[in-house]
Amino acid sequence: MRPLIHPSIEDITVEGILHALSDPVRAAIYAELAVSSGATCSNFLKVSDRDIPKSTLSQHFRALREAGLIRSERQGVEMRNSTRCAEIEQRFPGLLPAIMKAHQAQAAGRMRAAKRKPKSAAD
């Protein structure tokens, strides 16, 4: 089992961050981790009502880790994950807050739209 790779803060790139967060599953994972730090991978076997196979989930965590967005460490049989937002905030001030805010705004917009015509809930 190869060791986990955590890029040092100066190796983190904007492109990498944007790419990692351009996937809705990863964005959701990151957003959740930003709030409830220390969550494990299997806390995310369901993401916004969608089942994610655990191999896929593992890859998503790897993508977030290698983009420098999260830090993962083994703790017993499971994996504790936490964001590296303090570090990133220092290197790219305002970037993550703006992205998270935009994601929230988008989710809020979806909710408003669903309320207006509730039939489309299963679209």
User: Should residue 74 be labelled a site residue for a second copy when binding is judged by CB under 8 A?
Assistant: no
User: Should residue 36 be labelled a site residue for DNA when binding is judged by CB under 7 A?
Assistant: no
Q: For residues 36 and 57, what is the distance between their CA atoms, to the nearest angstrom?
A: 18
86 CB-side CA count, 13 A: 3
3-state helix, strand, coil in the chain (%, to 5): 60, 15, 25
User: Should residue 105 be labelled a site residue for a second copy when binding is judged by CB under 8 A?
Assistant: yes
Residue 2 structure tokens: 């190869």
User: Should residue 23 be labelled a site residue for DNA when binding is judged by CB under 7 A?
Assistant: yes
Q: What is the binding site for DNA (CB under 7 A)?
A: 1-2, 4, 19, 23, 25, 40-42, 52-63, 72, 74, 76-79
Q: What is the binding site for a second copy (CB under 8 A)?
A: 10, 13-19, 21-24, 27, 91-95, 97-99, 101-103, 105-106, 109
